[in-house]
Chain A
Amino acid sequence: MATAAKETNAKPEIATQVTFLEAIKQAMYEEMERDPAVVLIGEDIGVYGGAFKTSEGLLERFGWERVIDTPISESAIIGAACGMSYLGLRPIAEMQFIDFIVCAFNQITNFVAKGHYLWNAPAPIVIRGPSGGGVHGGPFHSANPEMYFVHTPGLKVIYPSTPYDAKGLLKSAVRDNNPVLFFEHKFLYRRIKEELPAEDYTVPIGKAVVRREGKHLTIISYAAMMHTSLEAAADLANEGIEAEVIDLRTLLPLDEDTILASIKKTNKCLVVHEDTKTGGIAGEIAAILCERAFGDLDGPLMRVTALDTPVPYAPSLEEFFLPNKEKVLHAARTLAKY
């Protein structure tokens, strides 16, 4: 008991090398420390510390009123978070797996997203959860449902690729007065580490970043596929193709300026995403380039995406379904020849 009580008040140690998952935890911890209006709500986030342990220890420190375990009721989680925000709180709602977010689709797209436009009611809530495939989670634990929500005015949609961005963007999301959807690619949770600043920092929502400079073509990506794209770019460099890699980080609002500036330079665009092809962000980027940079293009916009199928379970099927470095290399080489 005594040991446990002591643990309760101990600030988690900030490791020099921080995983994506720990970055999320740090962001929530620090925001809750900073502002008592920040509360957590979700399934198994309290006693259990979250299915992926992103909220481990937070109940111990912040108590029952601020870390709220809920029944299995996604609509109630989002609805309640929305209601709490009307009194000035800033709830962070967890979807245990982001696949389950569609259970609350109506609450998010009709209630939360439209409130500010219709009746001047901001809903400063964050909806976050683990997304993405490559971990053999099967069709209901591997989804990338971001585009349902990119199609919904009133929401902001973030999908970071590094621990630094995850922490900084989650903090920005908590401090934003709008409903923000925050996707965390679970393949990255424990696979990448990064040194994070000790002091408080944020990363702005709606700003893409150039991860690698290049001049022959631009690869636009985000989340786990950003790393695949960087690996491909390194290989391409050995072949004399200098690819610029853009990490979108935020899908809504989309940073059109960074995309356009890069295309002006490279004149070629390849979009890589793990989401399925039809209706994916690549189509939107293609439309933007046609509208605003048609004269800059020296080749067709190409895209490497997942297949237009549900996410299959067997490793052989899922590997076939997902984009990978080889697919990116193939597309980039084709595009470079134009």
Chain B
Amino acid sequence: MTKELTRQQYLDLYYFMRLNRAVEDMMVKLFRQNKIVGGLYSSLGQEAVSVGSAYALEQKDWLAPMIRNIGALLVKGVPPRDIFMQHMAKYDSPTKGKDGTSHFGDLENLHIVSPISMLGDLIPVMTGVAIAGRYLGQKIVAMTWIGDGGSSTGVFHEGLNFAAVQKAPFVLVLENNQWAYSTPVKRQVPLENLADRAKAYGISSYSVDGNDVVAVYTTAKEAVDRARNGEGPILIEVKTFRRLGHAQHDPAEYVPKEMRAYWEARDPILLYEKFLFSEKLLDEKSKKEFEEKIEKLLSAERDFAENSPMPPAEFAEQGVYCTGDDCHKVAPKWQRPIAEVTPPKSSVAAVWTVQGFGSGKGSGGASAPIHFGDTLKLEEKTESATDKKSKDTEVPEAVAETIEAAAVKPVKVAAKVPSKSAAKIPAKIPVKAPVNARAKNKPAPKKSAKPAVVPAKSAARKARR
């Protein structure tokens, strides 16, 4: 393989995945010691998704995690103590004990929007973030995650459709971990690839192995770059597996043993370690150094969290409303001339007027303009852009077929799974296309009928062979 990432990037991905897992391991201990107030939702086995996708963002970009995206928060710069304290409802936590888990954000510095428990709501919100960023000239990308379960909510549709018509610089990572609580994905969505949902919105999508951190990262990076360049929102389906139950209370007995065994053999951190060793990016010594560094960090972070007080009771009645400038100064950070969005520059002329229209009692004029400005021009622009792109990105049929064939070819490990078991599901995980898609310098088939399958540049997969 050609090394596409720098040594530092490879090692960052490793560090954050290990940190992600170590933070959650520690929280399991805290949970068993009754130090966690509410539920604990594990992302065991999904670390590559959170870390790989968030690592594709720049510092100025915005993200909104779901409950299992602890890794994304760490990548964005949240200290582990904040995550511990959130779960322990401590007064020094970002929400000062008013909410738990990953339900916190930071508008000022880290650009994180807090999730709520109702799934899908972040999609229109992050669309709004993306549109506002564009309006202010900030050239940011907004990213959030949704599960296989959450992709059936109404607001998923409303949000993604609106993002699509707005061509918002927005990346949605659809984390297909096979289970919505106890309901398998087959009983939620009649689609083989959830990336196909993108077709309904006329946007680009990818389907990628979510346990391969390099594949997740490179796909996310490409998507983030495209979104930033004005190509509109992009949907990335990452196929992965929720190794534990919905939360700590749930033993997940509904998951077939074979399915669990299959995915446990594909642990994202172990796969990646093998690759790093084979590429001589990591050895036992440096691995141990990482482990010691993380252990030292987390032990200090846990001590801080445990020593933080619980919030005083009367704090419950404070902070419902913003009291004004003394509380929050709300001011946009303009990165473009304001003159562009104020008259006369912002004004658009009417293309035509209809006689008599608007002459009603409530209207101003006798002949109101009903059609404005650059509507026609915009359509022309879009058309020509599409024409150009289709030439650029058209994949010869033969190549497309190869990709398609690869997409349904069972993974070797999966072949061991008894064919009639429900554990067949993972066998359908698309193997990434053979190297030819990339080697021939053909871009992924962005507009093809099938979602683009990430080419086999992935390191971890090589390590597996």
| Interface of A toward B, CB cutoff 8 Å | 1, 3-5, 7-9, 12, 19, 21, 33, 36-37, 39, 46-49, 52-53, 56-57, 59-66, 68, 70-71, 73-91, 106-107, 110-111, 114-122, 124, 153-154, 156, 177-178, 189-190
- Whether B103 is near chain A, meaning CB under 8 Å from some CB there, is yes
Q: Given A21-B362, A89-B135, A76–B127 Cβ distance below 8 Å?
A: yes
| Cβ-closest chain A residue relative to B121 | A111
Q: List 24 A-B contacts (CB under 8 A).
A: A9-B343, A37-B332, A47-B372, A60-B348, A66-B135, A70-B162, A71-B162, A75-B159, A76-B127, A77-B124, A81-B128, A82-B128, A83-B132, A85-B330, A86-B107, A87-B133, A88-B132, A89-B132, A91-B128, A111-B121, A115-B114, A119-B95, A122-B322, A177-B324
How distant is the Cα of A19 from the Cα of B364 in the complex, in angstroms?
12
Which residues does chain A contribute within 8 Å of B384, judged by CB atoms?
Answer: none
Contacting pair A177 B328 (CB below 8 A): yes
Contacting pair B369 A7 (CB below 8 A): yes
Beyond the given A53-B363, A77-B124, A86-B128, could you list 17 further A-B residue pairs with CB under 8 A, ordered by the A residue number? A1-B351, A5-B350, A7-B365, A7-B369, A37-B332, A49-B358, A60-B348, A60-B349, A75-B155, A76-B161, A79-B158, A80-B127, A80-B128, A83-B126, A88-B331, A88-B333, A117-B319
Contacting residues of chain B (132-186) with chain A, CB-CB under 8 angstroms: 132-133, 135-136, 138, 142, 154-155, 158-159, 161-162, 165-166
Which residues does chain A contribute within 8 Å of B128, judged by CB atoms?
Answer: 79-86, 91
| Interface of B toward A, CB cutoff 8 Å | 94-95, 98-99, 103-105, 107, 113-114, 116, 118, 121, 123-133, 135-136, 138, 142, 154-155, 158-159, 161-162, 165-166, 319-322, 324, 327-328, 330-333, 338, 341-344, 346-353, 358, 360-365, 368-375
In the A-B complex, the 8 residue pairs with the closest CB atoms: A83-B128, A79-B124, A88-B332, A80-B128, A4-B350, A63-B346, A73-B158, A177-B322
Which residues does chain B contribute within 8 Å of A64, judged by CB atoms?
Answer: 348, 373-374
Cross-chain contact of B158 among A37, A76, A115, A120 (Cβ < 8 A): A76
Which residues does chain B contribute within 8 Å of A76, judged by CB atoms?
Answer: 124, 127, 155, 158-159, 161-162
A248 CB, nearest partner CB in chain B, Å: 19
Q: Given A37-B332, A89-B332, A79–B127 Cβ distance below 8 Å?
A: yes
Which residues does chain A contribute within 8 Å of B320, judged by CB atoms?
Answer: 116-117, 153-154
Which residues does chain B contribute within 8 Å of A110, judged by CB atoms?
Answer: 116, 118, 121
Q: Given A4-B369, A48-B370, A82-B125, A62–B319 Cβ distance below 8 Å?
A: no
Contacting pair A190 B361 (CB below 8 A): yes
* Chain B binding surface, main DSSP class: loop
Contacting pair A116 B330 (CB below 8 A): no
Contacting pair B161 A56 (CB below 8 A): no
Which residues does chain A contribute within 8 Å of B347, judged by CB atoms?
Answer: 8-9, 60-63
Which residues does chain B contribute within 8 Å of A87, judged by CB atoms?
Answer: 129, 132-133, 136, 138, 332-333
Report the tally of A-B residue pairs with Cβ distances under 8 A.
Answer: 238
A137 CB, nearest partner CB in chain B, Å: 16
How distant is the Cα of A154 from the Cα of B346 in the complex, in angstroms?
34
Contacting pair A5 B95 (CB below 8 A): no
Which residues does chain A contribute within 8 Å of B136, judged by CB atoms?
Answer: 87-89
How distant is the Cα of A53 from the Cα of B368 in the complex, in angstroms?
11
B143 CB, nearest partner CB in chain A, Å: 12
Which residues does chain B contribute within 8 Å of A12, judged by CB atoms?
Answer: 364
Which residues does chain B contribute within 8 Å of A75, judged by CB atoms?
Answer: 121, 124, 154-155, 158-159
| Cβ-closest chain A residue relative to B348 | A63
A32 CB, nearest partner CB in chain B, Å: 9
How distant is the Cα of A64 from the Cα of B135 in the complex, in angstroms?
10
Which residues does chain B contribute within 8 Å of A189, judged by CB atoms?
Answer: 362
A213 CB, nearest partner CB in chain B, Å: 32
How distant is the Cα of A82 from the Cα of B113 in the complex, in angstroms?
11
Cross-chain contact of B346 among A52, A62, A81, A118 (Cβ < 8 A): A62
Contacting pair A177 B330 (CB below 8 A): yes
| Cβ-closest chain A residue relative to B350 | A4
How distant is the Cα of A121 from the Cα of B95 in the complex, in angstroms?
10
Residue among B103, B127, B128 with the highest chain A CB neighbour number at 10 A: B128
Q: Given A8-B348, A177-B330, A83–B125 Cβ distance below 8 Å?
A: yes
Contacting pair A56 B364 (CB below 8 A): yes
A338 CB, nearest partner CB in chain B, Å: 37
Which residues does chain B contribute within 8 Å of A47, judged by CB atoms?
Answer: 370-372, 375
How distant is the Cα of A177 from the Cα of B95 in the complex, in angstroms?
19
Cross-chain contact of B343 among A5, A62, A114 (Cβ < 8 A): A62
Residue among A8, A79, A81, A116 with the highest chain B CB neighbour number at 10 A: A79
Which residues does chain A contribute within 8 Å of B360, judged by CB atoms?
Answer: 53
Cross-chain contact of B372 among A52, A59, A107, A117 (Cβ < 8 A): A59
Q: Given A76-B158, A88-B330, A117–B98 Cβ distance below 8 Å?
A: yes
Which residues does chain A contribute within 8 Å of B123, judged by CB atoms?
Answer: 79
Which residues does chain A contribute within 8 Å of B94, judged by CB atoms?
Answer: 119
Q: Given A62-B343, A153-B320, A56–B363 Cβ distance below 8 Å?
A: yes
| Cβ-closest chain B residue relative to A72 | B158
A299 CB, nearest partner CB in chain B, Å: 34
Contacting pair A122 B328 (CB below 8 A): yes
Which residues does chain B contribute within 8 Å of A61, judged by CB atoms?
Answer: 343, 346-347
Q: Given A73-B162, A118-B99, A122-B322, A84–B353 Cβ distance below 8 Å?
A: no
Which residues does chain A contribute within 8 Å of B369, judged by CB atoms?
Answer: 4, 7, 60
| Cβ-closest chain B residue relative to A1 | B349
How distant is the Cα of A314 from the Cα of B37 in the complex, in angstroms?
55
How distant is the Cα of A36 from the Cα of B107 in the complex, in angstroms?
20
Which residues does chain B contribute within 8 Å of A154, judged by CB atoms?
Answer: 320-321
Which residues does chain A contribute within 8 Å of B364, judged by CB atoms?
Answer: 12, 56-57
Which residues does chain A contribute within 8 Å of B133, judged by CB atoms?
Answer: 87
Residue among B95, B138, B347, B351 with the highest chain A CB neighbour number at 10 A: B347
Contacting pair B343 A106 (CB below 8 A): no
Q: Given A82-B125, A84-B131, A66–B346 Cβ distance below 8 Å?
A: yes
Which residues does chain B contribute within 8 Å of A111, judged by CB atoms?
Answer: 116, 118, 121, 125
Cross-chain contact of A106 among B121, B126, B331, B361 (Cβ < 8 A): B121
Residue among B105, B135, B333, B351 with the highest chain A CB neighbour number at 10 A: B135
Which residues does chain A contribute within 8 Å of B343, judged by CB atoms?
Answer: 9, 33, 61-62
| Cβ-closest chain A residue relative to B135 | A65
How distant is the Cα of A75 from the Cα of B156 in the complex, in angstroms?
10
Residue among A4, A68, A87, A111 with the highest chain B CB neighbour number at 10 A: A87
How distant is the Cα of A91 from the Cα of B131 in the complex, in angstroms?
12
Which residues does chain B contribute within 8 Å of A21, judged by CB atoms?
Answer: 362
Contacting pair A66 B132 (CB below 8 A): no
Contacting pair A36 B341 (CB below 8 A): yes
| Cβ-closest chain B residue relative to A107 | B121
Which residues does chain B contribute within 8 Å of A91, judged by CB atoms?
Answer: 128
